[in-house]
Structure formats: structure tokens, C-alpha cells
Structure 1
Amino acid sequence: MCRIAGLFNKNDNPKRLNQLVRQMCELQKHGGPDDHGNFIDDTINLALGHQRLSILDPSPLGHQPMFLRDRYVIVFNGEIYNFKDLKKDLEKRGHTFNGNSDTEVILHAFEEWGTSSFLKLEGMFALAIYDQVQKELFLIRDSQGIKPLYYFHQENILAFASEVKAFSCLPIGLEKNLDWPLAFLTFGHLPEPITTLKNVFSLPKGCYAYLKLNQANHCEIINFTALAVAKLDISIPEAQELIDIALNNAIEKQLIADVPLGVFLSGGIDSSLIAMQAAKYQKDKLCTVSLHFPEINYSEKKYQDIISKNLPGKHISQEITKTDFNNHFEEILDAMDQPTSDGINTWFVSKAAQEAGLKAVLSGLGADELFGGYPSFQRIDKVPLLRSLGPLISSYAKISGNDALQRVAYLKNQKNPNYEYLFLRGFFNPIQLQKLFQISGNQQQQFLNDLTVPTAKVSPHQYDGVKASWYEQHYFMQNQLLKDADFMSMQHGLEIRVPFLDQQLINIVNQLPKQVLYSKHKPAKHLLIHAFKNLLPTQIWDRPKMGFTFPFQEWLKTHPKYLSLKESFSQNLPMQNMFKSYEQNKVHWSKIMSLMVLANFEAKY
């Protein structure tokens, strides 16, 4: 896991380009503290930079930028879990290797198969490959969008980086994206491809950008992911067996590392499964990391202890107090690469893992989205009825002030998926946006109509678990959970791996019939639970879902930053009413948090 950057400017001088890329890398050094390197092609004015977090082959043979036969150059952020199998295949085809890194395998694979090699890579990755002979540059992002990659392209200039903050040092006249505050308040995160900077975009997942640098006025974005596969005719027990095998294989592959590696253990089903499965391979080397709180209502220590007592190896349980929160809150806000209404839990647990000497951890992220762990899976089939009752419900919602009912207004639009997602998971609803922030309905509608819709297809008239899963994966997980996991963990030089997003496991899930995956007559995530029922203690899977959160609802109420925020809106009656509702526990802490994040980012741009 690393951080990368690059800059091409046909009209600049090579020395300055190299200096600028070094500055871009310095701004991302927290994500790659172990080593750094630069490359410059002064014949075409391209500079590439790399900050290294050494996970595989930490020797100098893994240094980047890495070269192959004085032709190909790579800077790479991520992990390729099937690199050993690819390496064997390539050796049979006559390739020879100098080291033991997955980076070197990517270069040889590209030399052998060209852009077809991207689909062969199983893992999480954002990388750039440069062909010095053809003067061609390729920017590539993994099919699940686990690793971020941002780019700016205009006429004869291209810049890219792992974090948006890296663009701040470039003298290319970047401006604030005027839409980002509305996007953030509407979604609770920034939906791809937009960022806080105008014309700086997120490269779509499962895509590569291609530039012929001596014709750099055009940047082509090409999808390389595989086509959809046919559904399996399979029973529930057979599906459970397939999932058992696939998850087990994913965990085994993702435990490969040449440095200390651990597992996040929240006490829930997903992380417990990963820890129990990882124990089969790690045995006494297993290290699990948990957070707990003095406030019993928010703490999952009881469940963490149940699992940890059944595991070999070492368990690290760190208590987080209100004092810890107060001491680090400003630091956490500054750690955010892009605005988010959450992610603080990841910052704390990553800090605990890094202090324990770990450089990589496995996380349970992705299971809820794939197997039906959110309320949206029960809510999705009500869309047609609520849409038909929309005017009646909207009238009542305005009177009652009910947040969930006010989101029904989004269902007026039947063609754009952005609206249906916001009904399921919207942050500030349309009435709140207008009342609290003076954002008119027309302005909201124009923004949502112009916003890019995820390229993956789903039936527009399908209201079942498959569609709920699509929304959760392509919006909430993609834009909030994965981004939070990346920049909060990398702030501590820690790599987070996500076995539930293993491509082979996802392929199997995508082939399962919806009646097998999601059933109204079975509990949430029933397929996953029963696939491992003999492995998990009953207390772990037979309990209400709690979610991995913090006691912010109480902690924020007395924080100086909240008190200052409240004072700044002293003449704004609607805002004062919202603060009052929050203090009465009628408004979730994340909305208060979002206002602090908004102010923090507004000060930056």
C-alpha cells in the first residue's frame, strides 16, 4: 500500500515538474512513510512519484518507480493477491524476475498481455504504467474501487494522485468545486466522480485512462471489467458451501505479507468471521485489534471478548474515552482527504493497530452490502407504494417534520437512480436543505440531474434485495466506507484489506438467485450466517445489529467545537431548533458532525 502521483505538462520544464511531483508526494507521505522515489522523462515532460508503505518484499528490489527493460515504468498503490499464480504463468512464458514483489509481476503481465492484464489482477489497486517507447500512459483502478485515484486533465496537462489534497501544490489554477457543499449535505459524502476541486475527478472503478502523451489533448476512459455472468440454479445449502469456500480462499490470499498483519475485530458477525477464519492460517501469529468505550450502551467489548477468547494469538483491546476524542478531534478533521460525515472510528482503530506494530489489517467491510445487512434491504420493496402515495405523504411530512417521510419527495423522479438512493439513505432531506441552508428545490434538482450515475446497470423497475445491494455498493460503500477506510488508515501508514470484496467471492454472489440471497422470511445476512453457523458463537449472530460507532451523541454536546458552531448560528432559528433537537437526541450526531466538516473544508478552499 502506497501513495502515487504524476504530472505531465507539455509546456513546462522537466526539473520543475519533478519538484512539483515531489511536493505532491510529500503531501501524501503519511500513506507511504518507508521509502520514496521519482522518475522523469524529459523528452516528453512527464514526472512520476511514489511514497512506499512496504508490505511485500520490503527490500530495495521492491522500490518504486519500478522499471522493466528500459521501457515500462510503474508507480503502484495496492496489493495483488494472485501475484504468485500470475508469476508462475509468466515464468512458463519465459519471463524472469529479480524480486518477490507484486509490483514486478504487474509490469511483466502488462508486457505479456497489454491492457488485457488488468482483468487478470485480483486485488485492490490504483496504478500508473508508462511506456517510454510509445509515449503512452495508463492509469488503472481496481474493479471494486477499493483504492482511490484522482486525476486532472486539460489540454496538454495531466495530473494524478492518490489524494485530492496532493493537487493543492500545483500551479494550474485549480478552483473550488461550487457543487461540493450541496453534494455533501445531500449524501453525507461526495459521490464519485466529483471532488472538492473543480475538474479534479475520481477515475471510475474498473476503468483505465489512456493518454498518448504526444497527442495529449484527449484522455480516453475505458472499462475493463468482465461482463455479467448467468445465474446459478442452486439451493441455499449449496450456496452456503460456495460462500464458505470463496471467503476462506479470499482470507487465505489476503493474509500474505512480509510484515506484521492483523484483523480488526468489532464484535459483529463480519469481523468475527474473518478473525475465526484467519486463525486457521495465522494460529499463534494472529493479532486482533478492537476498540471499546466506557459507555456500555455504545461498547461491544462483551462480544469482542466472546470471540477473542476463542482465538489464538494476541488480542489488543483499546478503550477510547471522551478525553481521547477531545484531544484528537481537530487532528481527525484535518486527516480527511475529502468530506465525510463519519470515518472517525476508522482513524482510532487504525491508530491502535499502528501502535501495535501492524502494517496491514483485514476488515469486514463489504459484507452488509453484499448479503443484506442494512435496513434498505427491507425498505426497497416499499418504493412503488410510497411513490403512489407521494403527494399525501409529502403533505403530512411537512407538518410532522419526520425526516424519513420527507425523503419520500425524492421518489417523484422515476428515472434517475440518484433520487431512489437518497430516499433510502439521504442525509439532509429536501425540506431541510431548503430550510436550513436556503438551497432551493430547483437548485437541488438541477444538481442531482447533472450528477453522474454509476455505470453499472440495474433494472429500473426492480425493487428487491438485488437493487438494494446495488445502491449500497455503488453509493454508500463506494463513496463513504471505502474512502473513509483508505484515508483514515493511511493517515497512520496502515493498509486495510477487505476479503468480502474479493473478486471471486463477488462473482459467486452475483451468480446467486435473489431468492437464495435475500429472503423476507429469513434474518438479515442469513446466507452468510448459516454458511458459518458452526464457526460463530450463537451470541455473535443471534443479536440485534449495533453498528461500529462512537458515543458521539453525548461527547459532541460539550465539545468546544460544537459550542462554537452553535454560537455561530445564534441568529438562525431553524439551525437553533436543530441543535436543540440534537441535544434532545432527536437528531443524529452525524448531521452535527457534517456541519463541522463543512466549515473545516470551507476554510481550506
Structure 2
Amino acid sequence: MCGIYGSTIGYTENQVKEKLERTNFRGPDKLDWKIIPTQSGNGKVAFGHNRLSIIDLDPRSNQPFNYQGLVDIVFNGEIYNFKTIKETLIKDGFEFKTTSDTEVICAAYLKYGEECVQHLNGMFAFVILDKQKEKLFGARDRLGQKPFYYYHNGLDFEFASQISSIQLYNDKLSISQRAILEYLKWGAIPDPLSIFNEVKKLLPGHQFSFDLKTGKLSTRKYWDIDYLTPPSYKGSYNDALAELEDLLKDAVSTRMYADVPIGVFLSGGVDSSLVSALATKTVANKVKTFSVKFDEKGFDESGYAQQVADHLQTDHTVIRCNYEEGLDLISNFSHYYDEPFADPSAIPSMLLAKYTRKHVTVALSGDAGDESFIGYHRYNWMKKVKFLYSMPSAVRKLGANIVELAPNYRLKAIAKGLRHESLESLYMATLTNIDMSWIDHQWDEKDVMEHEYLFHNKKNLYERISDFDLKAYLNWDINTKVDRATMAYSLEARSPLIDHRVVEFSRSLPTEFKFKGANQKRILKDLLYQHVPKEIFQRPKAGFTMPFQEWFRGELKDMVLTELNEQSLKEIPGINPPKVKKMIDEHLSGSWNRYPTIWKLLVLKQWLNTNGKGLSIK
């Protein structure tokens, strides 16, 4: 896990170094760069790398890495099947001087060309300089675990793991009004947009080629979920259970390989508990597990994590999250996240990473279980309201008018939701904000390209919303949160449930294998219960977030009133200041829980304060 950087722009070596130093937290073990002469373009390409040493700790594997004088590479991530690929390449006559996966990518490129990505199982973002063909070739992993930003002006090309490296010394950037509006809706900036008009994100499952002679950039998709084909699995439920266990055992065991200490994030929920259980079957020593404890009542699930840890006999550490440390992270939030990002669970994720890093360098997580196996609360809520959409629209809207008269804010939110024309648009609203009236922009479901995974009739509703979340929510939100939170403290996070083989298998399963009656993540739970007692999990599903609702009325009230006063609200683009002011007053009075909106605006205001000076918004 590292940070990568590269450019065809003629920056000085000191400027390249400063760009790397901006994100040195991603890889503090070795900062290095190389100016490589070329026959075309500006006559040189800069490659830079912040290394977090995980596999083959020897300096011989430092990057930028040159393979046998043929190609140069900078690479962020891990290739979990690199040993298997390496064995095949050795049989084909390739030689290796390291035990790293970096060298294997280079050899695979020379063997398979741009099709090399089809052979890689992992999380990755890499760029290869092929001087013979006078081009840059790169790719991002299938589900977007590793970030890849790039700037292309038609002639020059610059790329980095985080946008701040591109931002430094680039005076051609302007803030994107479209990105801000999308952020205000989603709480994150959807791919391929970034906060700057001139910088894009390479989409997950995509690769690119940049011609050094002409300055032409081309991208193409090399992988996707099959979202237009209904589940086709023909085996029995028990067959599927056995196959899933084999897949997950392999996904966990390959992610337990490293030349540094490894642990597991254990929240006490289904996904992390399953990963922890399978991890204990992989290694001889005790597995190290880590969880967060909150002081606030209703937010602390550390007791459940402890029960799982006790049963699995792991070496368990509980990390206490308090107001003071949370406040400190909030004030430095934009330094690590680079772009506005409003998932409140980013803060406890950072605290978890900060203290986990004191014990291990790699941590496995349970991310993507909810997306692949239909686990979120909102899926069950969609099932409950589905019958209402069999009613005529006029009748449903009349009922919404009546419900909205209720004093309870939850009922008012439901009433607003029921005015949506379709279940699909209602679902997208549950991911954004049911009440969008405070955003000065007309809502359109087609604003994001991923809508195609939801708005079709080839699958049932639950499969389609699951597909949408895999392509949108997992990528924009979860992967961004985990990458930035862990890399802020030089910790590598690995997610067995995001193994593309597991994701593809989940898409093939009948819906009732995953969601039957009120039983969500059915097959994952049944697999878990083979290792951990069912009784521990017979409780409502909880999220992983901060007690912002209470904090904004107490400890953080002064911050809200200072940062989001009437004058400050007028300086935030894309909002209706009077409506937002009213929403803040509603929250502070306790009449309505508006903390998601308040947090979005605080994060955006902090980013603008730090990055917006002197830049136009267009």
C-alpha cells in the first residue's frame, strides 16, 4: 500500500519531491522519484512513490521500479495471486530478482500486454512506462479500492493517488460547481468527477493508455458486474454455502500474507466476525483483532466484538473513542481526505486505524458484505414500502400529504419519500437526502452514470439496488473512507469480501439465498454460525458512526454556530441559505435530526476555507 505520482509536465525535481511529501503519510518507509528521459513529448516523465513496505521489505523492491531495463512502474496496492502468476511466468522464461508483486506486474505486462489486468486479483492502481512503445499504460482495480486521479489537458498527463499532489503547483485548476452539487446530494463526489473540473478519477475496472507522442489519452473498461442478467446459480443452497466458504477461505488466506504484522478489524457484526473467524483458521498464531468503544450510549458495540473475540480466542484490543480526539480529527479532516467527504463513520475509522497501526501494518476488514449480500437496513425498508407503489400515484401522494402533518420528523421524512414517482428514485433518495429542498439544484436520477444499474427491468428490485450500491456507494463512499482513513496512519486495509470472485459469485445467487423474509445476508450468516454462536448476533444491526446528533447540540454546538453562521452560509455555493439556517435551528432545538446535512456543510466549509482561496467556481 503506497502513494503513486507521475507527470509529463516539466516540474522540477524539488517540485516533484514536494508533491510526494504532501501525501507522505501514505508511505513513510521510502519517498523516491525518478526523472526518466523519453524520445517524445516533453522528453521526460517523472515517476514518484511513497512506499509502505508490506511484501519484500528489501530496498530492491523500492519504487519507481525498473524491470530488466524494459519498463518502469509505480504501483499502489496488492496483487493477492502474484505467486501463482509468477510460477506461470517463470515457466515461460521470465526471471525475477525480488519477491515482490510489483515485479510480477511488470513481467505480466511484457507477457500479456494490456490484457495483463485480466490476470490480476487484487486492489491496485499502477502506471507502467513503456519507452519502446512510447506510452504510459495503467489500470485501477475492478471495484475501486485504490484511488487514481489524473489531469489531462490534451497534451500533458499527470496522475496521483490523491488529488492534493496534482493540485500542488498546478495553476490551471478551477473548483467544479457540478462536483459540489453532487457532493451535497451524496456526501461524496461520484466518479469520474473530482472537486476540480480539470481532474478526473479513473473509473473502477478501467485501464488507460497515454500516447507520449501525440498526448492522446484513451480509456476502456476491462471488467464489470453482469447487471443485466438475472441470477443463474443452479446448485442447492447447501452447495452455494460450501462454494462461498471455499471462496472466502481463499480470499482471507491470500490476504493474510505479508512480511509485516497483520490484524483484523472486528466490529462484532456479521461481516467482520466472519472474516475474523476465517482468519483464525489460516494462521497458527493468535489473530490480532481491533474494535472501537464509544462513551455515548447507543453507539458502543464493543461488548459484542469482545464476545466474538473471546469465542475465537483472538488477541483483542479495544480502542476508546472520545470527544477530544474526535474533535482533533475533524479539524484536520481535509488534509487526509483531500476532497469534501461527509460519511460520519470516517472519523471513528480514522481513530480505529490510528491505534491499530501501533500494533500491525495490515488489517483485514469486512467491507462489501452489505452491498453484495443485501444487508443494509434500507433494503428491508424498501421491501416494507414496496406495496405502496402498487397504489395509484394520486392515492399515494394524498396519503403522503396526511402523514406529513404529523409532528414527528421521521414521519415527515417518510411522507416526502412517498412522493417519488418510482421505487428506484425513492431508493436513490434514501442514499442522498429525502429532503433536497435546501440544495439549489434540480434533482435528476440520471445525473450519475451508475443509474443504469438500477433503472432497468432485467432483475428484481433487490438485485438492482445491490448492483447499484456495488458500483456507486461502495466505490464513492466506502472505499474512499477506508483508503483515506487507513492511509492517514500508514495502515494497509484489505477486504476479502471485495474479492471480485466473491462479488461475481454473489451476483449469481438467487435472491432468497441472500434475503429471505426478513433475514438479510442469509448465506453469510449461516456460514458465520458454523464458527461463532448465533446467539451473539441476535440483535438489531448497527451502523459505524459518531454521535454527531448529540455533539452538534452539545460539545460541537459552538463550531456549528461559528462555521455555519448566516454570512458563512451565503459563501457556500449550491445551497439555499435561509432553508439551511432553518434546518440548523431545527436540529439545535431538538425538533428534527439534521446532523447529516450539518456535517456535509461543515466538511465543505472546511475544505473551501483551506483550498478555495483564489480559485474560481464554475
Same fold (TM over 0.5): yes
* Contact 2:549/2:595 (8 A) holds in 1: yes
Q: Deviations over 1:212-239 (max 9, x none)?
A: 11011x2111111267487221222211
Classify the secondary structure of the residue corresponding to 2:562.
helix
- Check conservation: 1:82, 1:121, Cα contact below 8 A: yes
Q: Secondary structure at the match of 2:150?
A: strand
Matches within 5 A, 1:408-423: 408-411=418-421, 419=425, 421-423=427-429
Q: Is the 8 A contact 2:54 2:258 kept in 1?
A: yes
1:349 correspondence with 2:352: yes
Q: 1:41 aligns with which of 30, 36, 41?
A: 36
- Superposed counterparts of 1:526-605, under 5 Å: 526-557=522-553, 558-559=555-556, 560-565=558-563, 567-568=565-566, 574-583=579-588, 584=590, 586-603=592-609, 604-605=611-612
Structure 2 regions of 5+ residues with no counterpart?
570-576, 613-618
Q: How does 1:314-393 map to 2 (within 5 A)?
A: 314-342=315-343, 343-356=346-359, 358-380=360-382, 382=386, 384-385=389-390, 388-389=393-394, 391-392=397-398
Asked if structure 2 preserves the Cα contact closer than 8 Å seen for 1:284 and 1:314, the reply is: no
CA distance in 1, matches of 2:376, 2:382: 11
Point out the more displaced range, 264-273 or 231-240: 231-240
Task: Give the SS at the match of 1:431.
Answer: coil
Structure 1's 566 and 137: CA in aligned 2 closer, same or farther, altered over 3 A? closer
**Residue matched to 2:573:** none
Does the CA-based 8 Å contact 2:513-2:522 persist in structure 1? no
Cα displacement (A) at 1:54? 0.5
Q: Deviations over 1:333-356 (max 9, x none)?
A: 432222222211211100011122
Equivalents in 1 of 2:414, 2:492: separation in Å? Answer: 36
Cα distance, 1:8 vs structure 2: 1.2
What are the residue-to-residue correspondences of 1:136-535 with 2, within 5 Å?
A: 136-216=135-215, 218-225=216-223, 228=226, 231-342=232-343, 343-356=346-359, 358-380=360-382, 382=386, 384-385=389-390, 388-389=393-394, 391-392=397-398, 395=401, 402-411=412-421, 419=425, 421-427=427-433, 429-433=435-439, 439-441=440-442, 444-445=443-444, 449-453=446-450, 459-460=456-457, 462-519=459-516, 521-535=517-531
Structure 2 CA distance, aligned partners of 1:315 and 1:26?
34
| Alignment check: 8 A CA contact 1:366 1:477 kept | yes
Q: 1:574 offset after TM fit, Å?
A: 3.5
CA shift in 2, pair 1:465/1:267, >3 Å: same
Q: 1:420 to 1:72 in 2, by over 3 A?
A: farther
Task: Give structure 1 stretches of 5+ with no counterpart.
Answer: 434-438
| 8 Å Cα contact 2:326-2:347 kept in structure 1 | no
Change (3 A) 1:201 1:36: same
SS of the counterpart of 1:334? helix
- Aligned positions of 1:40-189 closer than 5 A: 40-43=35-38, 44-189=43-188
1:155, CA displacement in angstroms? 1.6
Output the TM-score relative to the length of structure 1.
Answer: 0.90
The CA deviation at 1:199 is 2.1
How far apart in 2 are the matches of 1:574 and 1:226?
A: 41
What amino acid sits opposite 1:122 in the alignment?
Answer: N
Shift of 1:304: 1.4
Give the 3 Å change call, closer, same or farther, for CA 599–428 of structure 1 in structure 2: farther
Distance 1:312 1:63, change over 3 A: same
User: Could you say if the C-alpha distance between residues 328 and 513 of structure 1 is closer, same or farther in structure 2, counting changes exceeding 3 Å?
Assistant: closer
Residue 17 of structure 2 is matched in structure 1 by 22
Amino acid at match of 1:249: D
Distance 1:428 1:455, change over 3 A: closer
Q: Per the alignment, do residues 587 and 242 of structure 1 end up closer, same or farther by CA in structure 2, a change over 3 Å counting?
A: same
Q: Which amino acid aligns with 1:544?
A: P
Deviation, structure 1 residue 512: 1.4
SS at match of 2:292: strand
Secondary structure of 1:549's partner? Answer: coil
Task: Give the Cα separation in 1 of the matches to 2:579 and 2:87.
Answer: 64
Deviation at 1:57, TM superposition (A): 0.5
Question: 1:362/1:205 Cα in 2 relative to 1: closer, same or farther (>3 Å)?
Answer: same
Amino acid of the residue matched to residue 223 of structure 2? T
Residue 490 and residue 185 in structure 1: after superposition, are their counterparts in 2 closer, same or farther (change >3 A)?
same
State the AA in 1 paired with 2:219: I
Tell which deviates more after alignment, 264-273 or 315-324: 315-324
Q: Which letter maps to 2:240?
A: A
- CA 1:64/1:420 → structure 2, altered by over 3 Å: closer, same or farther? farther
Letter aligned with residue 574 of structure 1: K
Structure 2 distance, partners of 1:305, 1:205, is 36
Give the Å deviation of 1:398. 6.9
8 Å CA contact 1:17–1:46 kept in 2: the answer is no
**Match of 1:286, as an amino acid?**
V
Aligned equivalents of 1:456 and 1:567: distance in 2?
A: 40
Structure 2 counterpart SS, 1:459: coil
Q: Counterparts of 2:534 and 2:491 in 1: how far apart (Å)? A: 32
Structure-2 change in CA distance of 1:167 and 1:187 (3 Å): same
Q: Which deviates more, 192-201 or 33-42?
A: 33-42
Offset of residue 45 of structure 1: 2.6
Taking the aligned partners of 2:280 and 2:259, their CA distance within structure 1 comes to: 18
Q: Which moved more, 1:468-477 or 1:574-583?
A: 574-583
- Percentage of matched positions with identical amino acids: 27
2:519 partner SS: coil
Q: Distance in 2 between matches of 1:361 and 1:181?
A: 32
Amino acid in the other structure paired with 1:388: S
Distance 1:307 1:581, change over 3 A: same
Q: Deviation of residue 576 (structure 1)?
A: 4.1
Using the alignment, how far apart are the partners of 1:276 and 1:376 within structure 2? 27
Rounded Cα–Cα distance in structure 1 between residues aligned with 2:116 and 2:138: 13
Tell me how many residue pairs correspond in the alignment: 584
User: Contact 1:255 / 1:261 at 8 angstroms: preserved in 2?
Assistant: yes
Aligned partners of 1:457 and 1:591: how far apart in 2?
A: 25
TM-score, normalised to structure 2, is 0.89
2-structure distance, mates of 1:60, 1:530: 45
- Using the alignment, how far apart are the partners of 2:127 and 2:338 within structure 1? 21
**In structure 2, what is the Cα distance between the partners aligned to 1:335 and 1:313?**
31
**Displacement of 1:536 after TM fit?**
1.7
